[in-house]
A and B are shown apart, each in its own frame.
Chain A
Amino acid sequence: MDQSQLRALEARCIQEEMPFCTASCPIHVDARGLMALLTRGELREARKILDRTMPFPEILGRICDQPCHPFCKRGEIGDPLWIGPLERYCVSVTDTVLKPPKLPVKGGAVAVLGAGFSGMTAALDLSRKGRPATLITARTRLGGSLPDRAGSLLPPEVFDQAEATLKRYGAEIVTGASLDRQTVAALLDKYDVLYFDWDDFTIDHLPFIPGTPDPISLALERDGCFGGGGVEDGKPFSIMHQAENGRRAALSMERYLQGVSLTAEREKEGACPTRMYTVTEGIPPASEIVPDNPIAGYTAEEAQREAARCIYCECLECVKKCAYLQEYKEYPKTLVRKIYNNLSIVQGNRSANKLTNSCSLCWQCTVICPYDFPVASACHAARQEMVASGHMPPSAHSFALEEMHYTLGENCALIRHQPGTTASRYLFFPGCQLTGTYPDTVERTYIFLTQHLEEGVGLFLSCCGAPADWAGQSALFTDVLADLTAQIRQMGNPTLIVACSSCLAAFGKYAPELTVVSLWEMLDELPLPEVLFDLPESPLTVHDPCTARYQEGVRASVRSICGKIGLPVAETTIGAELADCCGYGGLLQFANQPLGEKVATLKVSRSTTETGLVYCAMCRENLVGTETHIAHLLDYLFADPEKNPLVRAKVGLSGRHEHRSRLKSRLQSTLWQDPIGSPAPHRAIRLEADDETWALLNERLILMEDIQKVIHHAETTGRYLHNPANGRRLAAFKPAVVTYWAEYEPISDGYFLHRGYSHRMQLPEDRA
């Protein structure tokens, strides 16, 4: 990712867009921030917001005509906020807190003719920028028509205060001046740049034809002359219009003196549209607070109550749903910035590695985002870059990748035509996790398919390579997929019947040349087996896997099958294309175990009934881990009728590892009558342990087979430690990069395991 790609990506997130009030305010007052501070009664801080944005807040704050009012989102659920009267309250009870800095004086002779509020604003802004202005009015005081219009709302001293402010910033004020054509002509010669405030300067006194001011720069026909303020055609007098014109003119005059474009990049000046997206659903309505005494305005208590109605417009729609973004307290814009910075570190800690590896790559946020922000592809690309540059932490995905290699290897992988045939019209691809979780069900499903489909159904036990893809291992994934497709070609390009939504998504995206159908859509077309269970009476909530987000047909077939077999089902509060991940997606649960558990708990919390139904093996494993009763749909179709689908236990990493290899050898023996070679000697070791120990091994990503290897090595070499006090043995073995330790004791026909742990750090003997 380079800087420009990052910026393009960041721009798609709208969380930092202006809220509706600020965008519709001609000078972009941070009304949302103001409301927060007024609600908390922090008046000095509230006043700072006005001092920072408003010219002469003691005047503007008192009579702001709040053009933001019709745009306030609160209007959708109650009445819009009365921001103008709240500003009035704020400036009435506070004095100036913040005095914006004055820049060093630069060159340029600047005059403002007419001292209405736009002229005052232009003179103030220019003087602050180091271009001291001469503010000239024919009247005896500042303010143009304001003192006549505002009546009792503006105490006379506010104009004295404004005059003092202007003088403090270096402006010169000339009152009672003659501003006839002759004088103005002389001023045109004297000054480099001039502003004419139509509220306090008669257009007839211009010695040139002004033309229509340019809407962006307010430039008049004559070079160096600008004009604005006064009353717009057909509209009432607006103080905000004066402020906006004065500010706009000041910027144009500054640009004029600098000799740069008067119009470039000024789209966000003045009231402008915003891309902000705020959902008001679920926010209780609240009516406006009307001051008891409308002439005096809000009391402190009334102001606080009115300000408290603000709903603080922001987007965060993705964050509201995603446990990952909540965990890291990021929204997509800040997230991708962190990921980018992490990739750019040359020396020092890459503290966002875990963050990059903790996204489940599930695309839920992208579906939610009104601008389709692709968090998943940003995280995925970052992982690929980390792998390519050698900065991917080795422990993040190693377990999942080793399991993938194991599944692809000779112990587990199998590709065969249907017994007794030499060609396949179909090829059943159950996927690595279904095979690991439900080997018996896979076998029954396969036999069912062979009985109901003609022209041969082959079997392909393997892995689609998704773990390599999720880990950012592009080259490895390409190799795995190329090998798979070559094997499928050798089988005569049969139609793949795929059980897993992840495999389906991976083949669809990366191997479009394959003909692939979902097992669920296929089953929905076939006469279903008779259900041998007492079906539950209360409905099961269907949890769609995140990988079925874009598989509408699969989701529909699952529900259709449930209907056909009479299984009552209910929907989640967030499902279908918005479904959460269970924690397995993107290998999240390997890179960040605690977050994986949180994600699974969140997914279960979307249930609308006491029990759940899934059709993804990993969803079942992870959701069962939350101690909720969850069945897999294949349980109702093909599982052992003696076992209640809702009370089956979690299989665990070791169980899944064992199941894969056992299923292969069993099917080789029962279906194809192949001669089976003897298993590796360590696998014959019988191990016992209590549930707590098995759970600990699972948590530490240690397989039973790893422990069997340790004990086999120790017992065949005699190299182990011995504790005479309790008869236990302690030994270590390093099959590849991880050193595994087992604390065990011999029992009559095997070993009892007490503890298992591991480390990646290498001891001297490892290098021998």
Chain B
Amino acid sequence: MSTFSFAEATEWRCAACDQPLQPAKVKVTYLNAVFNVELMVCPACNFILVPENLAMGKMLEVEQLLEDK
């Protein structure tokens, strides 16, 4: 399964671990569909950043496509 990358440099840092975020492969799921994507993640505690433009853009689009399957 191919991986789409949505990782891009960000000023957000993990507050608990005091770490900058780094690109990492993440498995996201919705309605029995699984996608491998690359997102910015805290390397220590795995806090995953879903930026607003992704959540309200591509992610929403895919959610709606899957809901109509």
Query: Which residues does A use to contact B, with CB under 8 Å?
Result: 348-351, 353-354, 393-396, 700, 718-725, 729-730, 732, 739, 741, 743, 755, 757-765, 767
Contact = CB atoms under 8 A, between A and B. Distances in A.
Contacts of A763: 26, 28, 48, 50
25 contacts: A349-B68, A349-B69, A353-B67, A393-B67, A395-B67, A396-B67, A718-B16, A719-B15, A719-B16, A720-B15, A721-B12, A722-B12, A724-B11, A724-B13, A741-B50, A743-B52, A757-B56, A759-B55, A759-B56, A762-B28, A763-B26, A763-B28, A764-B27, A764-B48, A767-B29
A147 to B, nearest CB: 66
Contacts of A758: 55
Of A739, A760, A762, A764, most buried by chain B (CB within 10 Å of CB) is A760
A722 B13 contact: yes
Given A395-B67, A723-B13, A761-B63, A741 B28 contact: no
A723 B48 contact: no
Nearest to A392: B67
Given A741-B50, A741-B52, A757-B55, A395 B16 contact: no
A762 B29 contact: yes
Contacts of B30: 760-762
B7 interface: no
Contacts of A721: 12-15, 21, 47, 49
Interface residues of B, number: 31
A759 to B, nearest CB: 4
B2 interface: no
Interface in B21-47: 21, 26-31, 45-47
B15 A764 contact: no
B23 to A, nearest CB: 15
B48 A765 contact: yes
B63 to A, nearest CB: 5
A348 B69 CA distance: 6
A761 B39 CA distance: 14
Given A394-B67, A722-B14, A730-B49, 16 more contacts: A350-B68, A353-B67, A353-B68, A721-B12, A721-B21, A722-B12, A722-B13, A729-B15, A741-B52, A755-B52, A759-B59, A761-B59, A761-B62, A762-B28, A763-B48, A764-B48
A764 B26 contact: yes
Nearest to B15: A722
Contacts of B15: 718-722, 729
B56 A395 contact: no
Q: Which 3 A-B pairs have the closest CB atoms?
A: A393-B67, A721-B12, A722-B15
Overall SS of chain B's interface = mixed
A393 to B, nearest CB: 4
Contacts of A741: 50, 52, 55
A724 B45 CA distance: 19
A363 B65 CA distance: 30
Contacts of A767: 29
A762 B66 CA distance: 13
Contacts of A759: 50, 55-56, 59-60, 63
B48 A393 contact: no
Contacts of A350: 68-69
Contacts of B47: 719, 721
A743 B2 CA distance: 31
Of B16, B26, B27, most buried by chain A (CB within 10 Å of CB) is B16
B50 A732 contact: yes
B66 to A, nearest CB: 9
Nearest to B52: A757
A743 B59 CA distance: 19
Nearest to A720: B15
B14 to A, nearest CB: 6
B11 A725 contact: yes
Contacts of B64: 393, 395
Contacts of B62: 761
Nearest to A396: B67
A723 B11 contact: yes
Nearest to A724: B13
Contacts of B12: 721-723, 730
Contacts of B55: 741, 757-759
A767 B29 CA distance: 10
Nearest to A768: B46
